[in-house]
Amino acid sequence: MTAYIDKIGQFEGQEVTLRGWLHKRRSSGKIHFLTVRDGTGFIQVVMSKAAVGEETFHRADHLGQETSLIVEGTVRADPRAPGGYEIDVDTLNVVGESRDYPITPKEHGVDYLLDRRHLWIRSPRQQAILRIRHVVVDAVRDFLNSRSFTLADTPIFTPAACEGTTTLFPVQYFDNETAYLAQSGQLYNEANIMALGRVYCFGPTFRAEKSKTRRHLTEFWMVEPEMAFATLNDAIELGEALVVAIIARVLETRRQELETLERDTTSLERVQAPFPRITYDEAVETLKAKGQPFKWGSDFGGTDETVLAEQFDQPFAVHRFPSALKAFYMKPDPDRPELSLSVDILAPEGYGEIIGGGERLDDLDELLARIKKHGLSQKTFEWYLDLRRYGTVPHSGFGMGIERVLTWICGLEHLREAIPYPRTLNRLYP
C-alpha cells in the first residue's frame, strides 16, 4: 500500500510503501536513521542491520542527500517523532542517486540559493511556504465561490494600461502591434460583472517595477473580486471577510508548516472583522505626529506603512486617498471630489499593503474626462466606455496580492520566498 506522510497515521501497524527523497541521515552503529520526505511531509525511517541485512545496511551508509528512494516498512507510533510516527524499514530501493547536493543544511547566501531556486524549494522551509501558499489560494477560491462569485478569466495580452503607464511590459504582438502584459484584470472584470453580477479573476499580473524593495515582484499573482451594485464599503467588508477566512484556514490546516517557519501565530489568531478604518487624512496626521516627513498628497512608502501599522494589532483599512494618487477609474468622493472612493488594506507588523481597490467611476462623461486627463487614448478604451453606455451601475472591487498576504502570514522578510520562481528587476533565472 503506497502511503503519503501527511496521512501516515491511518496506517499505524501496517506495512506501507513510501516513495520520496532522502533529506538527511545519521547512524548509530547498528541503526541508520533516515529522514525521508515525499512532498507531503517528513518522516524518520529507522533501518536496523538485523532487519535489512548486511548489504542493504551498508549501502545506506553511502546514500547522498536527495537520493530518491522507495522504502517498505511498518508504521509505528512514536510520541517523540515530529509527526508522531516512524517507519521501521524492511527493504529500501534507490531510484535515482544524488551526489554532492549543492544545498546542505549549512547557511548559504540568498543569491546562491536563488540561483538554485529549482533545488531550494525542496528544503523544509520553502516547502512549508509553498504548502501554505496552496492553502491560501484554496481558501480564496472557496470563499468567493461560496458567495455567488463566478470565476471569469481575464486576458494577459492587453492593448492598454490599467494601473498607469510607467510599469507596463510591452510585448511585440506580431508585425505591427504592441501588446502589454496585464497589470490587473480589473477593467475586464468590470465588463464581466455586467454579465455575471459578481466575478473574480485570479492569475499572474505583471508590473515593470524598477524598484528593488522587498515588497515588489515583476510577476505576481492577484485575486480580483468585482461586484455590480456595490459601494466602497461593500468592497472593504468583502476584503475583511476574505482575509479573515484565509487566516482561519491556514491556522486550521497548516500549523505544522507555521511551526517549521517559527512563525509566532498570536498576531494571526487575533485577526477578526471589522478591521480598524482610518481615512487618508487621518493617516497623514498620524505620520506627522510620529515625526515622519510626510506631505499630504504623497503616497505611502514602506516606512510610512510600517509606522501606520504600529497603532494597530490587526490589519487595517486606509480609505479616501487623493484622486491624483490613484488610477483613472477611481470614483471621486461626492463630498470631497479631490478624494477618491479608494481603499488599501494593510497587514499588521509592518508587512504593508495587501489589498487595493475601491468604487469605480460609473458615469460616462466623467470617465471620458479622466481618460483625457490621464493622457490615455480614448480609442483603446471604447469598449470600457461602452460599459457606461449600456446599463451602467455603481460597482466596486479590489485586488489582493497573494505573495503579499503569504509574506505576512509566514513572517517572511522578502516577497521572493512567497512564489516558486520569483521574478524581480534583476532575476529571470531559473
Contact residues toward Mg ion (CB under 5 A) are: 356
Q: Distance of CA 51 to CAs 57, 63, 344, 353, Å?
A: 9, 18, 61, 56
Q: What torsion, rounded to 10 degrees, do the Cα atoms 225, 228, 231, 235 define?
A: -10
**C-beta neighbour count of 46 within 10 angstroms:** 18
Q: How far is the CB of 191 from ligand 4AD (least distance, A)?
A: 13
Q: Which residue is nearest to ligand 4AD (CB)?
A: 356
Task: Return d(Cα 10, Cα 288) in angstroms, integer.
Answer: 58
Out of Mg ion, ligand 4AD, none, what residue 370 binds, judged by CB under 5 to 8 A for its kind, is: none
Q: Distance of CA 244 to CAs 210, 301, 403, 409, Å?
A: 32, 25, 17, 12
Out of Mg ion, ligand 4AD, none, what residue 221 binds, judged by CB under 5 to 8 A for its kind, is: none
Closest CB to ligand 4AD among 57 and 206?
Answer: 206
Task: Return d(Cα 268, Cα 365) in angstroms, integer.
Answer: 45
Q: How far is the CB of 186 from Mg ion (least distance, A)?
A: 12
3-state helix, strand, coil in the chain (%, to 5): 35, 30, 35
Q: How far is the CB of 138 from ligand 4AD (least distance, A)?
A: 18
Q: Is 210 exposed, middle or buried (0-12, 13-18, 19+ CB in 10 A)?
A: exposed
Closest CB to Mg ion among 60 and 347?
Answer: 347
Alpha helices in 99-231 (DSSP H): 110-115, 117-120, 124-145, 186-196
Out of ligand 4AD, Mg ion, none, what residue 331 binds, judged by CB under 5 to 8 A for its kind, is: none
Out of ligand 4AD, Mg ion, none, what residue 354 binds, judged by CB under 5 to 8 A for its kind, is: ligand 4AD
Closest CB to Mg ion among 184 and 192?
Answer: 184
Q: How far is the CB of 358 from Mg ion (least distance, A)?
A: 10
Out of ligand 4AD, Mg ion, none, what residue 224 binds, judged by CB under 5 to 8 A for its kind, is: ligand 4AD
> Is 354 within 8 Å of 408 (Cβ atoms)?
yes
Asked if residue 430 has a cis previous peptide bond (ω within 30° of 0), the answer is yes
Q: How far is the CB of 385 from Mg ion (least distance, A)?
A: 24
Per CB under 6 A, residues contacting ligand 4AD are 162-163, 184, 186, 207, 209, 216-217, 220, 222, 224, 353-357, 397-401, 403-404, 415
Closest CB to ligand 4AD among 115 and 219?
Answer: 219
Q: How far is the CB of 54 from ligand 4AD (least distance, A)?
A: 55
Out of Mg ion, ligand 4AD, none, what residue 286 binds, judged by CB under 5 to 8 A for its kind, is: none
Task: Return d(Cα 416, Cα 241) in angstroms, integer.
Answer: 26
Q: How far is the CB of 4 from Mg ion (least distance, A)?
A: 40
Closest CB to Mg ion among 282 and 353?
Answer: 353
> Is 92 within 8 Å of 71 (Cβ atoms)?
yes
Out of ligand 4AD, Mg ion, none, what residue 25 binds, judged by CB under 5 to 8 A for its kind, is: none
Q: What is the DSSP letter of 306?
A: H
